[in-house]
A and B are shown apart, each in its own frame.
Chain A
Amino acid sequence: MPARPGSARRYAEALFSIAKERGTLDAWQTELERAGAVLRQPGAERALETPGVPIAAKRAALESVTGPLSREVGVLIDMLFERKRLGLLPQIADAFAARVREERGIELADVTSAVPLTTEEQQIVAQRLSQRLGRTVTVTTHVDPSIMGGVVARVGDQLIDASVRGKLEALRRQLHATV
């Protein structure tokens, strides 16, 4: 997981507070994500930070890929151009999305299982996690046979280990501590 510098969070927070007033959370989130995705392309940041090319031209180039951007998102991007911090954009997009999720009480859960989960099972896991955390949980799934069975859910910094491997590990530790 990449480190999220505090500055990206502050830009995101500023934009978020405007978006919340205007009710444009979803629209801006997709715009930011699209722009962020462009910046994630290797070489894109270097190309867009080339000195000598006027900002308006750079912005036009960016918009030719992302499609037209709303005024405020555009202003934010101009600001980043001016400050030579365009590299922060993907992180701002992440921070914005995180802030939107927080606002709506949604948690992202990363669920790992030994065998692929059926949609039904995924729903059960999501439901159980929601009960436990008191928030709506959106689940993304991975398959990792090395956990042997059960599931491992990671929500934020919390790790809920209900896998066979985790239990065996805990048992090993307990036996090790006493004998």
Chain B
Amino acid sequence: MSGANLFGMCGAALAGLGLYGLITNPEPLRKILAFNLLGSGVFLVFGLISRRAAAAGFPGDPVPQAMVITAIVVAFAATALAVALVLRLLEQTGRATLSADNSLREKGNP
């Protein structure tokens, strides 16, 4: 297995890890973090695709690389918006949770 393949496997594992965190962690901020991990794993998979397509004197195909750069910037913009939403939720309700039971319980027993 070549070194580039190793990073591809690493990307696949990171995507799985991120997906696990996204599903099992109840805190919204940790979900955002896990989503970023998932995203970076997918980017790394793209890195392997780019490296494999090395040709014409370039060490990798520049097209997937440019797409990953765009993706990183867009992922940051989405993260910033998501974090702002969580903070607004905290301001509005005093808690930062997505759990529906909590808010129902609060309404039931004031």
B is a partner of A: no
Measured CB to CB, the residues of B under 8 A from A are: none
